[in-house]
Amino acid sequence: MIEKQKIVKGVVNILEVNMGLRSAEKVLIVTDVPTADEWARYDFEKLTDFVERSILAKAVSEVARENFPDCSVEFYAYPSIGRHGAELGKEIEGRMKAASVVLAITTYSLSHTETRENATKAGVRIASMPMFLADMLYPGGPMTPDYDKIEIETEKIAAAVRESEEAMVTSPGGTNMKFGVKGRKVIPEAGNFREKGAWGNLPAGEAACAPIEGTGEGKLVVEVDWFSNLKEDMTFVFKNGLVVEIIGGGKVGDEFRTLLAPKKNEEPYVSRRNLAELGIGTNPNAKRPENTLEAEKIKGTVHLAIGNSFHIGGKVPADLHQDFIIPRPTLLLDGKAVIKDGKLLI
């Protein structure tokens, strides 16, 4: 049950501090709701999580309307797109472009979509909040750290990546990946979306870039409990920057084997298999491993993603962007450790 009074301070803080809301601006709160097919396919637990997030978005819109009476606040719910990074269509794009500030409290991420990109280009300030939970706004949660400190630390890490040519990630769980990063744009996401066209995730706290296409080699091990409903480790094997095999993972692994179809040399499967992102978490209040939005911000973690890299400086558009978090990683940049066993050394 969402306790509305406990989210008021957090919502006000998002709009005032993170988004820099000004008098007479228009705020749009968007959320996705399960389709009829998803009602039939999803189990009780997944549907409950889905619906509660939509209700949270509605509560956030009410808090915004009550606390910013000189601003226009619109709430809009649209049918689920079914996966992270799938396109939303012209109606939602038009609504987003008509707003000054958008909070996207959704189950499926719209971050890596043309819809979000086009709204950003139009000057809209956007917080993408896929898998967001109400208690993230509570005292001590990942929305309540010292964001000024996070900004300083995140920029230091981003600078180290910018100055490097090659990255290598290993972990006790078995991850062993290397790839090029030379010349790539590195984005420090520290929760400051106050400028025209600014966008990113909330909770914030990561430095991210797109690896150079075709350079990813090795294996990424997604460990039990570090991905929703994952009951056994799942390994992605990469060659020349693409997933060539998926080992284990049980039902979750089966879903990705269907989604990526490693044996099919055709679209949309090839683009979905692209090594799309290197991210480094910097938020000291992020703790929850099974919630990807929060887990990828955990200070000292690394995450790698597959699919769309186009919207973070890469060259591959795709209808999927999926992050996988690596706990207790060691990250080497040009052979020098910047993270050792999950501890930031910068």
- What local confidence, expressed as pLDDT, does residue 72 receive? 98
Same domain, 178 and 295: yes
| Residue 206, both tokens | 């990561």
Residue 147: the pLDDT is: 86
**Both 101 and 32 in a single domain?**
yes
* Shared domain check, 193 and 77: no
Structural domain boundaries enclosing 80: 4-132
Are 120 and 156 members of one domain? no
Residue 340, beta-bridge partner list: 343
Tokens of 70: 């000189």
Asked if 224 and 338 sit in the same domain, the reply is: yes
DSSP code per residue over 196-210: TT-EEESS--EEEEP
Note the Cα 133 to chain centre separation in Å: 14
Query: Is the same domain home to 16 and 124?
Result: yes
Distance CA 132, CA 56 (A): 9
Q: Are residues 52 and 195 in the same domain?
A: no
The ranges of the chain with pLDDT < 70 are none
Among 132, 155, 189, the domain-final residue is 132
Q: For residue 296, how many C-alpha atoms fall within 13 Å in the half-sphere facing its CB? A: 25
What's the pLDDT at 1? 75
Query: What is the number of domains present in the chain?
Result: 2
Residues in the chain: 346
Residue 140 lies in a domain: no
Instruction: Dig out the tokens for 182 from the structure.
Output: 């030379």
CB 44 within 8 A of CB 36: no
Task: Choose one of 105, 132, 159: the last residue of a domain.
Answer: 132
Asked, for residue 246, whether it belongs to a domain, the answer is yes
Q: Is residue 137 part of a domain?
A: no
220/110 same-domain check: no
Together in a domain, 194 and 332: yes
Which tens digit of pLDDT belongs to each residue from 9-45?
Answer: 999 999 999 999 999 999 999 999 999 999 999 999 9
Q: 288 phi and psi, to 5 degrees?
A: -80, 115
The per-residue pLDDT for 139 is 86
CATH number at residue 35: 3.40.50
**pLDDT tens-digit series, residues 165-217:** 999 999 999 999 999 999 999 999 999 999 999 999 999 999 999 999 999 99
Rounded CA separation 2/275 (Å): 37
Judgement on whether residues 47 and 103 belong to the same structural domain of the protein: yes
Q: Which of 71, 98, 132 is the last residue of a domain?
A: 132
> Do 192 and 304 fall within a single domain?
yes
pTM to 2 decimal places: 0.88
